[in-house]
Chain A
Amino acid sequence: MSAIAIRNVKKSYGGTQVIHGVNLDVAHGEFIVIVGPSGCGKSTLLRMVAGLETITEGEIEIGGRVVNRLEPRERNIAMVFQNYALYPHMTVFDNMAYGLKIAGLSKEDIRARVHKTAEMLQLTPYLERKPRALSGGQRQRVAMGRALVRDPAAFLLDEPLSNLDAKLRVQMRLEIKQLQRSVGTTALYVTHDQVEAMTLADRLVVMHDGVAEQIDTPLAVYSRPATTFVAGFIGSPAMNMLPAEAAGDGRLTLATGASIALRGVRLPDQGRKVILGIRPEHLAQVPAGEADLELEVIAVETLGADTLAHGRLGGGDFVVRLPGSSMVQPGDRLPMAIEPGMAHLFDAETGKRLPDDAPAAAPSRQAAEA
């Protein structure tokens, strides 16, 4: 039995469908991150699990119980909001105790649980303060504490770190992960930040336009993105995409006319239109004679550990991640080779990943005619 099961859930506002049937099974103690650009429906999905939005179609189960018609409080979940939603007139203690008080726990029980949670979050010195007198990071902790103290079946977190500055965000990210591990509670976490998504998740749900495009471990999403959208969304800088056509002899013909031999990747049948995806980190600078591609550098970003060289190729932007020691200058021409097995091929029509171990599918009719 899974901790949370989402079955073909759809959501419409008026006549407009915004979530088009999402399926997800969350195991006990799993940390699931729902990631996607704004407006993809990730928050709506989370709010449907929380019970703050009605479910238009489909079913949501929490702990084996269908919760479609239950109020949030009957679902045994706790939620952390983006702006924390702490009660401004209550002390930290009262903020954390409020849910327990309503649940009818005894005074001693409440005290014990709040103090234990505060200890875990290093909030003990602040228990008597009002949220106003706390820093952003401390408020964030109180919001976490309010969720933890109730010992719910699942945590729902809606972009909990996006109001923090960059440094604090990294720190809280680690803390959240450790906390979730130590209490072992299932968590659903919504974010638009792919670094957060990659680092926190046991499994990622990449959403786009109300559809879960891929549900898999972070590494699998990174190394085998299911669609061009996922490929472009996960990874920074984004994957380079080049329209190409299979030449049939183990080579690809790019839209620019250049021909590349791909090693370690199964190529589709001749004439099939594809999109070739290469991550910036999977290109290497090579002697001119061995190059697959040549990039004219327009701009260089020196990050210290790496250097990003930006250029244009085949009508689109193209980025290469070079070692930090690289002395590349704007105006240079970089001969580059794709690392073997590191190219991704997607169908040019559907944007779906071409199967890399199964035999390539028959070319679509349009592709054959072209």
Chain B
Amino acid sequence: MVERRGIGTILTHLALILGVAVLCFPIYLAFVGSTLSHDEILSVPMPLWPGGQMVENYSQALAAGTQVPVARMLFNSMVMAIGIAAGKIIISILSAYAIVYFRFPFRMLAFWAIFMTLMLPVEVRIVPTYEVAASLGMLNSYSGLILPLIASATATFLYRQFFLTVPEELAEAARVDGAGPVRFFKDILLPLSRTNTAALFVILFIYGWNQYLWPLLVTTRPEMNTVVIGLQQMMPSADDYGNWPVTMAAAILAILPPVAVVVFMQRLFIKGLIESEK
């Protein structure tokens, strides 16, 4: 690491603090908004210090919202994000295991087919996907929210790369020890990819949480809305005043779960990104 002294340290810190301030200001503003009353928010200029309405606004958002209680939408988002993250991890680790450790006909074809889907993000295939989901009766259901987003070329590729770095002798040692394919996967590979899995989980959870277009299409009933869509619908439109304090409270609430996931998994997350356990 480059060592700096005196003025250099001060300058770097100033730059960093400025960056953090720029990044955090909108969030701070949302937080301030969530503690004010409706009239205070609409006054010009808007106060920059938190007001006294915090408890009222948050409880109103959680319990009632504008159309659906935010608690309900948070729950929907949680189910969807965890479902997507967990589903992606399970499917990817299994397909990567098959591709790396087994020799079967069309193995490379399978790998490339998975890899090609990187070129087909949700937005590109959204119409046919919707058609399929609709004819399977998955509209307005958690499976409809989760299943179409579960396949992941990125995660498969990541696991594949990781498995390729696991020394071949480890698999051979396990074979000599008498471990079959399932045991080897369960006892050796899974524990070894723990940190990778944690890092992936964080990334995929946030990916799932932030989904907008797909939930917007596949859910029509407000009580199946995710918080990201709910937020949009809480925004006042046209001649409507809306309820800005409650909307801001909902926005802050929507940020919290991803932040919590990152904070709690940070240690594993960073380990997974920088270190391989060997």
Contacts and interface: CB of A to CB of B under 8 A. Distances in A.
Interface string B162-185: 000001011011111111000100
B178 A50 contact: no
A79 interface: yes
A195 to B, nearest CB: 25
B192 interface: yes
Contacts of B175: 51-52, 71-73
A88 B278 contact: yes
Contacts of B277: 88-89
A146 B172 CA distance: 14
A85 B172 contact: yes
B178 A73 contact: yes
A77 interface: yes
Contact of A102 (B169, B177, B194): B177
Contacts of B176: 50-52, 72-73, 77-79, 99
B192 A103 contact: no
A98 interface: yes
Contacts of B167: 83, 85
Contacts of A72: 172, 175-176, 178
A87 B174 CA distance: 9
Given A85-B167, A89-B191, A89-B277, A79 B178 contact: no
Contact of A85 (B173, B183, B194): B173
A81 B191 CA distance: 21
Contacts of A81: 169, 172-173
A82 B172 CA distance: 12
B18 interface: no
Contacts of A77: 176
Nearest to A147: B176
B56 interface: no
Nearest to B168: A85
A61 B173 CA distance: 21
Contacts of B192: 88-89
The secondary structure that dominates the B interface is helix
Interface string A41-61: 000000000111000000000
Interface residues of B, number: 19
A87 B172 contact: no
Nearest to A50: B176
Interface in B205-220: none
Contacts of B173: 79, 81, 85-87, 146
B172 A52 contact: yes
B161 to A, nearest CB: 18
A129 to B, nearest CB: 15
Interface in B189-241: 191-192, 194
Contacts of A87: 170, 173-174, 187-188
Given A88-B192, A89-B191, A89-B277, A99 B169 contact: no
Nearest to B191: A89
Interface string B1-45: 000000000000000000000000000000000000000000000
B70 to A, nearest CB: 41
Contacts of B187: 87, 98
A86 B169 CA distance: 9
**Which of A50, A73, A79, A85 has the largest number of chain B CB atoms within 10 A?**
A85
A274 B183 CA distance: 59
B170 A85 contact: yes
A102 B178 contact: yes
A7 B179 CA distance: 28
A258 B167 CA distance: 56
B268 to A, nearest CB: 14
Given A99-B177, A103-B178, A79 B278 contact: no
Contacts of A89: 188, 191-192, 194, 277
A99 B174 CA distance: 8
A102 B278 contact: no
A73 B180 CA distance: 9
Given A88-B192, A103-B178, 10 more contacts: A52-B175, A72-B178, A73-B177, A73-B179, A77-B176, A82-B169, A87-B174, A89-B194, A102-B177, A102-B183
15 contacts: A51-B176, A72-B172, A72-B176, A72-B178, A81-B172, A83-B167, A85-B169, A87-B170, A87-B173, A88-B192, A89-B191, A98-B174, A99-B177, A102-B179, A146-B173
Interface of B: 167, 169-170, 172-179, 183, 187-188, 191-192, 194, 277-278
Pick the 6 closest A-B CB pairs, nearest first.
A73-B178, A85-B169, A99-B177, A85-B173, A102-B178, A89-B191
